[in-house]
Chains A and B, each alone.
Chain A
Amino acid sequence: MNVALQVTCLNDSLFPDTARATLTLLRRLGVNVEVPLGQTCCAQPMINTGYLDEAVPVVRNFVDVFEGYDAVVTPSGSCTGCARHQHAIVARRSGDAALVAAVSSTAPTVYELSEFLVDVLGVTDVGAYFPHRVTYHPTCHSLRMVGVGDRPSRLLEAVRGIDLVELPQATECCGFGGTFAVKNSDTSVAMGSDKARHVRDTDAEVLVAGDSSCLMHIGGLLSRQQAGVRTMHLAEVLASTQVGS
């Protein structure tokens, strides 16, 4: 199987450890992953802020780079949702029939990490070891736009040594929302503060999620509050092993 890793722009620039962990994990599971360096971003920041014209060349770059792979794996629910549901809107608006066709052939090959592991590779026990108290936040786009369901939880439950505790009001949005975090920063912070409080209430050492953007927001609040809770991407927990971690 011909598999590509979509690094995501946020992971490339701010959280490279997440991309490295995804790579480590997939290789350990025997997947031969390519990392096409022509990739940049899924165009979500532009699309969700309403800059659809500006998104066109970015979407074009995305399909140019990823067309032809059997699977494109991304450690991000929101980038997956963007590629599956929003690229088509951008392509249609551009009036470029070739782009519309390329998008419709690429979109179904894009998988969020937990989907790829559970549905395509058929594994829930990835051989990870992570002896810490962990709580999991199901990000909105993973949960509702992509519909990953309980796949991340099943993967986490199979991790050795983990003490997985339930997050109160887990399905409620953390308040990040892309440019919402800045345009409506008061509301964003109010929502994030409630989320951070729920995280602290679990006494977890680590907050895990499948989207670096939400972790950046909640982690930024926890860090400011000196809450002593680390944030980690799902991929990083799943990549940890007794030997390597």
Chain B
Amino acid sequence: MSRTFVGMPPFPTAAAHALRDTQLRRNLAHATGTIRDKRAGVVAEVDDWEQLRVDGAAIKDHVLSRLDHYLVELEESLTRAGATVHWARDAAEANAIVATIAHAHDADEVVKVKSMATQEIGLNEALAEEGIAAWETDLAELIVQLGDDLPSHILVPAIHRNRAEIREIFAARMGDSGRAAPPDLSDAPADLAAAARLHLREKFLRAKVAVSGANFAVADSGTLVVVESEGNGRMCLTLPEVLISVVGIEKIVPTYDDLQVFLQLLPRSSTGERMNPYTSMWTGVTPGDGPQEVHVVLLDNGRSRALADEVGRQALRCIRCSACLNVCPVYERTGGHAYGSVYPGPIGAILNPLLKGTGVDAQTDSLPYASTLCGACFEACPVRIDIPEVLVHLRSKVVDGHRGDRRPKAEALAMKAASWTLSDSRRLDRALRTSGVARAALGRSRDRVSQTVPLPGAAAWTRARDLPLPAREPFRSWWRKQSGSES
């Protein structure tokens, strides 16, 4: 019923497509600019922000270094609290577990909240095949789902849509899956929110089974935590009889005490708020209150692969705040769809290859190159993930994966040649003399060329940019003459 990211083209192609959509670029520039300013303001209010970042990173690193221990602890405390724990190695296992539980309760629909993990595993599509409809209840996700669209932001999946587009989607599609939008729906935010509220409330009250994710899982108490702004999470977590929480194994924090660090870092980094409106915590089953059956699906799906990568494992610290997306100049131009995943932007550019592995497909391998390495993401990240460092590391894995190719790429040959030339200054001397000849051959007295020159990559450069010609005299020849130096 909804589109999937499967079969997306590599980043440069998808980006070129997105760049042609001027409405999209305007929507994105406006939205990211606004949230960027808001975030900068509230972060500046915190005197010990840098220390909080360091603490957040340290807590996550500690958990990751002893993940086996903390997972067992979490399983024990969850079980003690009356929850049932399931382990899922991959998407297929996780989807099957959820479907089995829903079937056991004769549910032909589930309400969902706050779960990128379930988008990652394609749960909605898997449930649809089992005859179970999954309804998104987050406002932005509802917009994406009703619009038969794909999410393009971690926090604001419908960031690429404006009010008028949302009105169209609500008016046309709400009736298909529940209460229809009022006939006189306007595009005023309050009207749109009211229509969504009535539509969703009906679903909350009807559904027997809810599916959620969790922002954090406290190991020693078995408490799951959801941080949100709309209250839909609270509805999902309390109204249905059965709750299934699909939680990535990296979501663990050891204790409540550790949680406070992240509850300071997350809202300021993500929505630019001092505190998020709703923080829901649930610990197993409480008789007579809330869901009487709680299942927790602990999901790997590539996380242990990422953990095994010494440089890349820091990506598992990610708390999905989306600050890196909002400051990323590449994301701002292309939007999230170009990344071909529910995890777009800078974190997506590293997380997807880490979860899936490099060398599996061209789309994944294009992601580490979807960055200028400007470093704005690292600067913004509340848990200090050095995204540029991981990007370069993953690029080297992509390159290494092709070292055995029978026919090396032009780029690989060029880099080999450059390495040979640049590892010895005499070779460089000779190459520079040749470039002087090349300049003469191009026959120009000017310093820049506008049309294509026969060099690798030159066409992609000169399409919109002039290219400087090699200098008439390289610096080194000049220096040699004026200093009378020989070496």
Contact = CB atoms under 8 A, between A and B. Distances in A.
Q: Do A and B bind each other?
A: yes
Nearest to A180: B372
Contacts of B411: 49, 179
Contact of B470 (A14, A176, A188): A14
A220 B485 contact: no
Contact of A48 (B392, B457, B461, B466): B392
B316 to A, nearest CB: 20
B333 interface: yes
A217 B376 contact: no
B51 interface: no
A179 B419 CA distance: 15
B464 A189 contact: yes
B243 to A, nearest CB: 42
Contacts of A98: none
A41 B465 CA distance: 24
A223 B466 CA distance: 6
B473 interface: yes
B329 to A, nearest CB: 5
A223 B448 contact: yes
Interface centre among B15, B372, B424, B485 (most CB of A within 10 A): B372
Contact of A35 (B368, B424, B479): B479
Tell me the interface secondary structure of chain B in the complex.
helix
B193 interface: no
Nearest to A51: B415
Nearest to A184: B12
Interface residues of A, number: 67
B interface residue count range (under 10 / 10 to 19 / 20 to 34 / 35 or more): 35 or more
A190 B19 contact: yes
A89 B378 CA distance: 18
Given A51-B419, A140-B374, A186 B12 contact: yes
22 contacts: A16-B478, A40-B428, A45-B415, A46-B415, A49-B395, A50-B368, A50-B400, A52-B396, A57-B422, A60-B423, A61-B424, A141-B375, A144-B379, A173-B329, A178-B373, A179-B457, A180-B372, A184-B12, A185-B461, A187-B12, A221-B465, A223-B466
Interface of A: 7, 9, 11-16, 19-20, 35, 37-41, 43, 45-52, 54-55, 57-58, 60-61, 86, 89, 140-141, 143-145, 171-173, 175-193, 216-217, 219-221, 223-224
Interface of B: 11-12, 15-16, 19, 25, 329-330, 333-334, 368-376, 378-379, 388, 392-400, 411-412, 415-416, 418-419, 421-425, 428, 432, 435, 448, 450, 457, 460-461, 463-471, 473-476, 478-480, 483, 485, 487
